[in-house]
Amino acid sequence: MNVELTASLSPAVFVPAPSAFDLDVAFGITVAIKVAFILALFLVVPLVVGYMEHKAMGRLQHRRGPVAAGPFGTLQLVADGIKFIQKEDVIPAAADRKVFALAPGLALVPAILVFLVLPFGPGVWAVDLELGLFYALAISSVSVLGVMMGGWASANKFSLIGGLRAGAQLIAYELPLILAAIAVAVQAGTLSLVGIVEAQATFTLPGTDLNLWFVFPQILGFVIFFLASLAELSRPPFDMPIADSELVFGYMTEYTGIKFAMYLLTEYAGMVSMSALMVVLYLGGWQLLPGVGLPGCEGAGGMFDCGWLGAIGGVVITLAKILILTFIMVWARVAYPRLREDQLQRLSWLVLVPLSLINLAVIAIAKVVVF
Amino acid sequence: MSFGEQYGTLAILVIAGSVLYAIIMLLNRVMRPSVPTPQKLTTYECGVDAAGVGWSQTSIRYYVFAFLFVIFDVEALFLLPWAVIVGDLDATTPISPTFAIVAMFLFVGTLLEGLAYAWKKGVLTWE
């Protein structure tokens, strides 16, 4: 490619959208605030989702769910955490002790890192990376290394098979996930997650003033992304790496106490971050309804440059959407039986991958011709 | 925020996350009882003594999928920059949008042909 061609093809230089945490203070303080924000999100929202899962599963199975700890059982998971931290740590004599102890950490840390780029409301994000979407997808698939390490280090046949299945599941479902996400990037013309929210707030159906979220033109992509993220998270009906009826408890068979709790926390944090990603990519971010802006917001379809009222409203809307999506995940867990391992692979390679490529082709042609 | 500050935040978050895990493990070490017995430390296998070692050889039926994955994942990497730029193309740019789309379809189509071949050969189904 010659110089002239390169120059004329390069898009405008990316300017990251400023976060509300970018105060006029030293870099160290800004980073400390952002890290505290991310860790607070990471430690609180998954617990809320976990409580919702307890209650929703209970009701769907004609039980009441937790009722004893705190009002309506709301402190159940806090009580569980206190219990877990006092539990004896049993490491089997045959296991590889170092890898066994490190594995839950390697699964946990990437689950925290995804929250770096997720926008939760106007200005409420830590960092707006130019490669935000790519970063989120890449980091979220690192957790499986911790799962495979744990499965191998346990020196248990069930754990080993569970770990290998987790790896196989990731390689099968990473593709539909990333291909569906690329179709969103085509339509938005950016990989920045904040930029994608803005693109949705300003996207109108060609020839009309009707504002639409990307879920409407890309309903196929949304369904593919939802199924693939369920599989990436090993959530039922795609929980073959755990498969309690065949593999005891899969890669977690030998884990007890706090290390087991770390794997569970990883799973719930993954549910939150994947749901947040779906909200950003398909469901309009912090927009209440298509075409409806937030109070006190000026920029891009009434979604940016907000006062504190708009910011809080935006965060509440995002969290509500996340809770709805995670509820659907729980609902799927209760409603459907687990797939067989070969059915899982076939569903991905012969159905989801071709469909996501068709989706990408349709969106790319539509982007050039219509949008 | 500059490029360095953005990825500096990421680096600090990696450290903070690791420290969080270390603190939780340390807290557990301080608060937990430790009464190991030989029976407790055996490998779990349906309640009987484990046969052989846990690191036994297993037939990974899905290694063919791993090959396919590498091919398509590299393809996805090529698709990402294409996806960002394809909407900006028009008649004034040196590359027309039609050319960009047809070129990418040929690339993806070639790979899909490989997937179809693997399907026809029956390596994607288990006996």
Residue of A nearest to B13 (CA): A35
What letter represents residue B89's amino acid? L
Chain B (101-120) residues lying within 8 Å, Cβ to Cβ, of chain A: 101, 104-105, 108, 112, 115, 119
pLDDT band at residue A11 under the 50/70/90 scheme: low
Residue identified by tokens 């803005």 is A198
Chain A residues with CB under 8 Å of B115 CB are 349, 353-354
Chain B residues with CB under 8 Å of A171 CB are 65-66, 69
Task: Give chain A's radius of gyration (CA, Å).
Answer: 21
Helix and strand numbers, DSSP H then E, in chain A: 14, 0
Q: How many CB pairs under 8 A join A and B?
A: 213
pLDDT band at residue A70 under the 50/70/90 scheme: confident
B54 and chain A in contact, CB less than 8 A: yes
Chain B residues with CB under 8 Å of A241 CB are none
B4 and chain A in contact, CB less than 8 A: no
Of B5, B38, B97, the CB nearest to A368: B97
E strand or H helix that includes residue A138? helix A132-140
- Model confidence at A6: pLDDT above 60: no
In whole angstroms, give the CA distance from residue A97 to residue A101: 6
Instruction: Write out pLDDT tens, residues A77-136.
Output: 899 989 998 888 888 888 888 999 999 999 999 999 999 999 988 888 888 888 889 999
Of B53, B94, B112, the CB nearest to A357: B112
Q: Evaluate the omega torsion of the peptide bond into residue A217 and state whether it is cis, within 30 degrees of 0.
A: no
- Contact yes or no for A88 and B32 at CB 8 A: yes
Instruction: Write out pLDDT tens, residues B27-64.
Output: 988 988 888 888 888 888 777 777 777 677 777 666 77
Chain A residues with CB under 8 Å of B41 CB are 90-93
> Between A353 and A11, whose confidence is greater?
A353
Shortest alpha-carbon distance between residue A59 and chain B (Å) = 32
Of A5, A112, A191, the CB nearest to B84: A191
CA atoms within 13 A on the CB side of A279: 28
SS3 for A90? coil
- Locate A244 and state its tokens: 């309690």
Sequence ranges of the domains in chain B = 1-36, 61-127
Name beta bridge partners: A299.
Answer: A304
Instruction: Write out pLDDT tens, residues A193-229.
Output: 988 988 888 887 877 778 888 888 889 999 999 999 9
Q: Are A176 and A349 in contact (CB under 8 A)?
A: no
Chain B (21-40) residues lying within 8 Å, Cβ to Cβ, of chain A: 21-22, 24-25, 27-29, 31-36, 38, 40
**Amino acid A2: pLDDT:** 45
Residue of A nearest to B61 (CA): A342
CA distances from A265 to A109, A228, A240, B96 (A): 11, 20, 19, 48
Instruction: Write out pLDDT tens, residues A228-286.
Output: 999 988 888 888 888 878 888 888 888 988 999 999 999 999 999 999 999 999 988 88
In this prediction the pTM is 0.89
Of B10, B60, B79, the CB nearest to A182: B79
**Amino acid B78: pLDDT:** 87
Q: Are A177 and A225 in contact (CB under 8 A)?
A: yes
Q: Quote ipTM for the complex.
A: 0.85
Of B24, B44, B101, the CB nearest to A248: B44
Sequence ranges of the domains in chain A = 17-369
- Contact yes or no for A39 and B5 at CB 8 A: no
- Contact yes or no for A354 and B112 at CB 8 A: yes
In whole angstroms, give the CA distance from residue A179 to residue A167: 19
Question: Mutating which of B55, B61, B63, B92 best tests the A interface, going by the most A Cβ atoms within 10 A?
Answer: B55
In whole angstroms, give the CA distance from residue A237 to residue A49: 18
In whole angstroms, give the CA distance from residue A316 to residue B33: 42
Of B10, B18, B53, the CB nearest to A155: B53
